[in-house]
Structure 1
């Protein structure tokens, strides 16, 4: 995303360089308009994909940036060494800091402030932590360790998630200059200074090959880590570095007309990648090779001079966008994510407001903040400052007490303030004219509330659900939205270590299950709950409903669906422990023969190994559940299929500064869903009982509220809060009694 040379009009190589036969070849000098245009292509692809989801492979723009950055920075270091015989690390890192830190810090600070204005405290605090990691160029590892799905760039994404790529670049540049200096120094001492690029090229080739191989391994084993990992991405920057090292050789081979063919071929590969590459494919390795090789070809095509017939890249509009690309990249994602908390996303108003705000902030920050500081003498030693020249180039003012630091002068300050006010005005106008989310199905809801009391817990609860759907103002919630991040609200059962493969659990999952007993441990009747974290989130309700007279055993494992399918970890890595747990749990339960087996778990299509898309994943889950149901049927005297609660909108995401309760209602489209249908089918095919839980949380034609009777329904998008699980205990009792009257009628 960043570089030094393209901002100053310099090229990575200039003048003549010796070729292999002693003939001097002409290397392109002056600005590389084609590279600036390529930067514009890269940033526009990223912005388009993040904002609209089209083209679906627009995220490859980041890979284009990596190649450009590797090429330009390596060229700078080579030229410095060939000119002076050394590499000044202090100068290099001063330039990087002056180029990167001011604009990045501005965006980080503005985003953190914006998050506190629109998000609940818990999420705003998380964004603040993200900002700290991003400031120290470690954001990629924060997001990787959290199993972040980069491709789910929706309103619930961190507005600073895009800083991962900046972290990758800077981590690379903490190491690469030192390796180059080592290689060039060794060659110089060996008396081979005129071949000073050879060892650097050989070393970078080894790094590229090694990184590509590691990236392939990581993509297959841990896709989330592979996406964010510097080691899995170094080959992309390294290919750009190899181009810089080989520039004199390439300039002797590629003429301007040949360069046009090479550049157009590369541009075609990039465009093809934007439409052919998708999240379901192996990324970054091997499919990132498409845009990476394409970018390398575009750059290589111009080493002997800007090729003809390349107007789509070299026109003034594209080169200007290339100038703005760093600022645009920094601002676009915070605007997209934060604005989605204030306006209905995927609407014309949202798209127009997002484009207007990110454009105003980009242009303003570039001309009034980023560029003046970039051309200032900040961080330069006193002996090298050229104050008059700096004043002419940036018209900046010196900060008192900070020698050499120049910030935008009066005119720039006025324009900057005007730009910020214009952006705020755009947001304010958009919020003012945005239609407020309306309560749907009001007549149906009021009819439910007015209906005579039927004497059942379910009937009374339905009135509470209808009232929640009619709410136009936020009630006092207990627990509050800010408390939803606490373990005692989300998963108090984790304190008991009763979810296998989770922190605090016994390393032996079967031993773990045997010790996790709730209710009356000496009761004559035993109920075994088999499932995953969704299953264990039902345990407070089951314990509240039956704990007085039943022994309740918990046989659950983290992210381990009951369906017989091969699943992966959240980050895409292998998860053979799940299959082992399912097999061992069935064997142990069969030997125990509980009175009632409660089967309850999620079926996450993203975890199905080898699935080709969501539809295929759900099909495999359905088949796997049918197979599992046949094996589970003889284990207990009675089996009950208790499906997961319908998914909803997490209050921590939808409860924003401008939201009304209707904004946190999950609409009925797509409910209850294919996994729910598979649960019902598994019960019917094996003669088991099925408990329909959708009416407990939703009104069919209206939707599912985020809270009922002042209690948040879910701690996230799927898991019940502990208080809500206990609140629906009477419904669980009635549901089980209706499904198995011969067991629970009493």
Structure 2
């Protein structure tokens, strides 16, 4: 754990950890190799680690936002790990990559394995079986240190489940660090080997510092651009996060040359601590990191590291002395285990009680439970396995027994995860291409009062998430800035409807395809994930700034003006955060732009989004967790306003015609998740393609009345 973001090994100022390996060189050997003697131990960095983990936990539990604590950890990780490698390279003249990897794994994996095992068991016991596949995927990704890419691709791959409430989501940062550790070990090993070939024995710090600074600058530039264009991906991107780790690594390389006057050190310490404590209050890192805004926590951490460099403990600034006090250093020693435990404990608590936040009492319970689990993990797992030798035969047996249990847990976790993945692959979900209207009337039971006899629900809970429109799978809905256009329906027809916007425009496509086949018109699509047409960089309904959507929308409007479709099909409303639905002001700007271009617009009311007390949930999860079509639904008054809010507003736009199929999705009092034996929702708020196809008659009636095409 010496090199984890919040590891508990004793770390010296250069980042070197006291090592109990027999190969550990003496201080005199290090001096003979030309390196500085080992400096005094930095207890204040333990305390900084303690404050950072406290902020992470408190902000996750009660603030629901990023504190900047993880960014502090990344800087410390780069500093600690690089310093250790530098010291070993100077002393031994080489870096054994395999040996470093074994030692790092021995420190990181035991606690991680225990947490993964606990999450797997809790998932099987507490969560619906429809979530087991997601957790199996993320368990493997976490164990093999690519969880950040798993989450990044899940955010971009439109067919992937939403991982936002995964109990393993926080392990993305561990994956980023693990990748950095491997890369830095290889880089330093090669760097040292190259200079040994020229008969030099010392690792050349100045050239290495220049290299790290150049790579860090490139990573920072990449992060700034990525955050502006696609922050959801960039947040997890190792390349965008590298500069934070490299900032710490550069400090470790430059450490011998850093010596500051007392007043400057004191000022840096004060500013650094103030920055660490205030970061989460001033900046919502979840929407702005790791771009330029991350300079705030990274700079604060760097200031605190530098403020105590090459300074005896008796002359440390007051702030550093405060950080070195026992309560903070002990919290820092628990940091790694506490970081591992707090998020799954919080997520399982929220999922079990169906609450958007734990509140004061629930939050205290989560924190206490996390601290107890972290302490037990340190005492029973980490401490015995860190020791290279046992003081007594009993301690030796205990250490070997603990190691055996951890290995068995790790093997069991991987077998369970890979096993469930194999089961799902052997039994792939195949949504129905078509359903018998007599057995599966779907929306017809609401719109046309059709009769229905009970049949097995289709798509099933396993098929539901895959029952999506064709653009989801054929690449015609773009995840990035690219403008993609596809044609569906009767491609040779002279009449055209352009379906434009995000996924809530897309999920009407199956119904439109049915109509296009019957009524002979062409469907032209311009679709982008999460992006209704907008001219705002920060739409009122968006979780984060999304300038990429604005740029894409401008280009789409230009293409529509050139293509001149007969009608443009867009969504007209969105759900409110509390209850009901409304027309965001940004939509009115789009209506104006379409009207100015002489484009006729079909503006359809959005379907209800499943939520309970403000918490979104998937229909398939609820059904798999002993729910029913009715209990898994929601009251219509919570989902929709009594009247379509787009109707009065559209009156001011002569070329905008509102459509409303709410009565074909919801009953008078309840919006259920199954109608006419057909599953309505494939996730929290998207219609299944099967249900959308049953909406074709009602949608066709309304479109025909407006367009006069039939």
TM bucket, shorter chain: 0.7 to 0.9
Q: Aligned pair 1:565/2:571, yes or no?
A: no
Structure 1 contact 563–627 (Cα < 8 Å) conserved: no
Structure 2 contact 130–621 (Cα < 8 Å) conserved: no
1:308 is displaced (CA, Å) by: 5.1
Residue 605 of structure 2 is aligned with which of 620, 630, 643?
A: 643
- Counterpart Cα distance in 2 of 1:35 and 1:305: 14
Match of 1:253 in 2: 260
- Counterpart Cα distance in 1 of 2:149 and 2:333: 29
Between structure 1 and structure 2, the one with the greater Rg is 1
Match of 2:420 in 1: none
Structure 1 contact 155–338 (Cα < 8 Å) conserved: no
- Secondary structure of 2:522's match? strand
Structure 1 contact 528–555 (Cα < 8 Å) conserved: yes
Residue 366 of structure 1 is aligned with which of 360, 378, 385?
A: 378
User: Which has the higher relative contact order, 1 or 2, with Cα contacts under 8 A spaced 6 or more apart?
Assistant: 2
* 1:670–1:499 CA distance, 2 compared to 1 (3 A): farther
1:562 is displaced (CA, Å) by: 6.7
* 1:660–1:260 CA distance, 2 compared to 1 (3 A): farther
- Counterpart Cα distance in 2 of 1:7 and 1:564: 48
Residue 489 of structure 2 is aligned with which of 512, 516, 531?
A: 516
- Counterpart Cα distance in 2 of 1:121 and 1:368: 31
Match of 2:579 in 1: none
1:726 is displaced (CA, Å) by: 3.3
Residue 400 of structure 2 is aligned with which of 387, 395, 398?
A: 398
Structure 2 contact 499–527 (Cα < 8 Å) conserved: no
1:284 is displaced (CA, Å) by: 0.9
1:197 is displaced (CA, Å) by: 2.6
Match of 1:555 in 2: 524
Match of 2:428 in 1: none
Structure 2 contact 90–202 (Cα < 8 Å) conserved: no
Alignment RMSD (CA, Å): 4.6
- Counterpart Cα distance in 2 of 1:559 and 1:603: 17
Residue 690 of structure 2 is aligned with which of 723, 728, 731?
A: 723
TM-score, reference length from structure 2 = 0.75
Match of 1:166 in 2: 174
* 1:661–1:342 CA distance, 2 compared to 1 (3 A): farther
Matched residue count: 629
185-194 or 710-719, which deviates more: 185-194
- Secondary structure of 1:556's match? strand
Match of 1:143 in 2: 151
Match of 2:305 in 1: 299
Residue 714 of structure 1 is aligned with which of 681, 686, 691?
A: 681
Q: Aligned pair 1:29/2:40, yes or no?
A: yes
- Secondary structure of 2:653's match? helix
- Counterpart Cα distance in 1 of 2:75 and 2:632: 42
Match of 2:590 in 1: 624
Structure 1 segments unaligned to the other structure (5+ residues): 18-22, 378-385, 400-404, 417-454, 465-473, 606-616
1:107 is displaced (CA, Å) by: 1.9
Structure 2 contact 97–189 (Cα < 8 Å) conserved: no
131-140 or 300-309, which deviates more: 300-309
* 1:99–1:699 CA distance, 2 compared to 1 (3 A): same
Match of 1:534 in 2: 504
351-360 or 172-181, which deviates more: 351-360
The Cα offsets for residues 147-204 of structure 1, whole Å up to 9 and x where unpaired, read as 279xxx9984322222211111111111212322444455566676578432332222
- Secondary structure of 2:102's match? helix
Write the mapping of 1:277-676 to structure 2, written as runs, cut at 5 A: 277-279=283-285, 282-303=288-309, 304-306=311-313, 307=316, 309-310=318-319, 312-345=322-355, 346-348=357-359, 350-375=362-387, 377=388, 386=389, 388-389=390-391, 396-399=398-401, 406=403, 458=447, 460=449, 477-486=457-466, 489-491=467-469, 499=476, 512-513=486-487, 516-517=489-490, 528=497, 530-532=499-501, 533-542=503-512, 550-559=519-528, 563=533, 565=535, 574=548, 579-590=554-565, 593=566, 597=567, 599-601=569-571, 618-633=584-599, 640-648=602-610, 649-652=617-620, 654=622, 657=625, 664-666=632-634, 672=640
1:731 is displaced (CA, Å) by: 4.0
Residue 116 of structure 1 is aligned with which of 113, 124, 132?
A: 124
The Cα offsets for residues 495-525 of structure 1, whole Å up to 9 and x where unpaired, read as 7x5946599xxx9966x42x5329xx88xx9
- Secondary structure of 1:490's match? coil
1:67 is displaced (CA, Å) by: 1.0
- Secondary structure of 1:222's match? helix
- Secondary structure of 2:353's match? coil
The Cα offsets for residues 581-603 of structure 1, whole Å up to 9 and x where unpaired, read as 5443454345xx5xxx3623378
1:279 is displaced (CA, Å) by: 4.6
Match of 1:433 in 2: none
- Secondary structure of 1:528's match? strand
